[in-house]
Chain A
Amino acid sequence: MSDINTGMVEKYRNNFLKEVEANVEEGDWVKMCMQCGVCSGSCPMGPYWDHPPQELFMMIRAGKRDEVLTSTSMWMCTSCYNCIVRCPRELPITHIMHGLAHYATRLGIEPKGQPTRQFAQLFWDNLAKNGRVNELWLGVNLYFMNGLVEGIKVAMGMAGIGFGMLKAGRLSLKELVGGHTVKDKKGFKAMIKKAQELEAARIDNAQ
């Protein structure tokens, strides 16, 4: 268990709802859920979730900390926003799902092998490097995220689509070296670093 995770367990004891309210993006909305289940019924990936949003909200209130934070469920959010617009209590459910996923990552207890977790991390690393997404490297890193052998298999399966995109001028091998970038990379990185520091300080100090 990571140090920060141990620290949070000690700090909040059995009050996981309080922990979520303090540390998870839009977490202070969780208590507003009235368990109607419209979110769960509206989710395009719903059938694959071990715990749909409504259930996660109840589990948070019941203090099921490990079950919630190690769940693969919220990582399958497609950000379609069906749940948000249909929720009669207007909970920002999509954002809470992203927030729970991020918080689990911050604590180091997220489900490491969940493929969308891996992709979401690749996407962030990709954009944080140059300030803009490099689609070629995003694809290459995605295909090889489970090692070389698996990667070659996946890449061969996707070769047809890749060639199609190249031919249509919607993918460029020029992106292999360098590629698109912001000009003020120094300022961009300093901004991100500062934002990360401010957020970490706020969460560490959360009461």
Chain B
Amino acid sequence: MAKEYSFYPGCSSQEAASSSNYLKSVQSMCDVLDIKLNVIPDWNCCSASIGYCGGGELPRLALSARNIALSEQHNAGQDIVATCAACWLATKETQERLDHDAGLMAETNEALAEAGLKLKNETKIRHMVEVLIEDIGYEEMGKHVKKPLDGIKIAGYVGCQTNRPFGIEGESFENPKYLDKFIETMGAEPVEKYDKKVSCCGGALAFSEPEKSQALIKDIIEAAYDGGADMIVTPCPVCQMNVEVYQDKINAKYGTKFHIPVTYYSTLMSVAYGKNGKESGLNGQIIKAEKLEAIAGK
């Protein structure tokens, strides 16, 4: 029987949005693993980590509280699962803060009442990689591999928000291993000692302060090349975009010759599970993941 979850896709996973290819590959992966994602009806933006100029603490908490309340109403009893690092983090932070502060909880419910909602705050908030590790398990993940990703060396770039401050149970903040294990389970080879594994790509500052962020991104890519990587893989939509799309700009500024594909863990899994390029979201790559394309076919 399918495992069911209350799914919070988030803004970047919407149709024709910046990580719509992530959602595509997640759907293919979940199809194979018999995971059913029930979208939270009428979910809203979580304000990521950058809404704080215009949005005060309470309005930002209300955003995530609305999503949790909608989930409790429509997908009762199901854990909330997010694929985006920022969505997961903001929702989990809201749950924790409201759980610790009765005053904020009362005010949040007063605000939610304006939208006809009430928060119980009893729902577990999880990231998709937690579902894979804890509910599916590496062994089961490996059983479905039809086309092992032989001969591909991959730098597992975990980044920030899937790792800090909550992280994944049993993993360290400084050197989490789960992404490397995903890579291995799919038959590819992880870069050992990838020393920018948990470094920051600049997040939203890639938009507002591009030079500073691109200096960080340059180091992340350089370390992947140093480790002999053919490609980079990440669990975060912001990491994926920042590390993939600015490579030409970085090359122009620093005289580097970067041209390395950056995909999601779910892209790897979808391809290894025998899905084609389109089903795996490979057509969403700006820098084509040619080695994955060769395995996936058209």
Chain A interface (Cβ < 8 Å from any Cβ of B): 25, 44-45, 48, 76, 78-82, 84-85, 94, 98-99, 101-102, 105-106, 110, 115-121, 123-125, 127-128, 131-133, 135, 139, 142, 160-161, 164-165, 167-172, 174-175, 180, 182-184, 187-188, 190-196, 198-199, 202
Q: Quick one: which of B1-52 are within 8 Å of A by CB?
A: 11-12, 14-21, 42-45, 47-52
CA distance A15 to B181 in the complex (A): 52
Contacts of B42 in A (CB 8 A): 182-184
Contacts of A168 in B (CB 8 A): 21, 283-286
With A84-B164, A119-B208, A123-B47 known as contacts, the answer to whether A192 contacts B62 (CB < 8 A) is yes
Contacts of B204 in A (CB 8 A): 78-79, 116, 119-120, 123
Quick one: which of A78, A84, A139 contacts B200, CB cutoff 8 A? A78
The interface size of chain B toward A, counting residues with CB under 8 Å, comes to 67
Quick one: which of A81, A105, A118 contacts B208, CB cutoff 8 A? A118
- A142 to nearest B CB, angstroms? 6
Contact B161 A120 (CB under 8 A): no
CA distance A192 to B65 in the complex (A): 11
Contact B110 A165 (CB under 8 A): no
Residue B178 is within 8 A (CB to CB) of chain A in the complex: no
- A75 to nearest B CB, angstroms? 8
| Interface majority SS (helix, strand, loop, mixed), chain A | helix
Residue of B nearest to A196 (CB): B59
CA distance A167 to B287 in the complex (A): 12
Contacts of B286 in A (CB 8 A): 161, 164-165, 167-168
Contact A170 B54 (CB under 8 A): no
| Interface majority SS (helix, strand, loop, mixed), chain B | loop
Quick one: which of B14, B111, B164, B213 contacts A195, CB cutoff 8 A? B111
Quick one: which of A45, A98, A123, A182 contacts B44, CB cutoff 8 A? A182
Contact A44 B108 (CB under 8 A): no
CA distance A119 to B203 in the complex (A): 12
Residue B223 is within 8 A (CB to CB) of chain A in the complex: no
With A102-B52, A133-B11, A191-B115 known as contacts, the answer to whether A80 contacts B203 (CB < 8 A) is yes
- A119 to nearest B CB, angstroms? 4
Contacts of B57 in A (CB 8 A): 25, 99, 102, 199
* Per-position 1/0 for B86-118, Cβ under 8 A of A: 000000000000000000000110111111110
Contacts of A45 in B (CB 8 A): 202, 205, 212
Q: Quick one: which of B219-251 are within 8 Å of A by CB?
A: 245-246, 248-249
Can you report 11 residue pairs joining A to B where beta carbons are below 8 Å apart? A25-B57, A78-B213, A80-B160, A102-B52, A106-B56, A121-B53, A123-B50, A165-B286, A169-B16, A172-B17, A199-B57
Quick one: which of A85, A118, A184 contacts B164, CB cutoff 8 A? A85
With A116-B208, A127-B51, A169-B20 known as contacts, the answer to whether A190 contacts B245 (CB < 8 A) is no
Residue B77 is within 8 A (CB to CB) of chain A in the complex: no
Residue B55 is within 8 A (CB to CB) of chain A in the complex: yes
Residue of B nearest to A198 (CB): B107
Contacts of A175 in B (CB 8 A): 16
Residue B199 is within 8 A (CB to CB) of chain A in the complex: yes
Contact A116 B209 (CB under 8 A): yes
CA distance A163 to B60 in the complex (A): 33
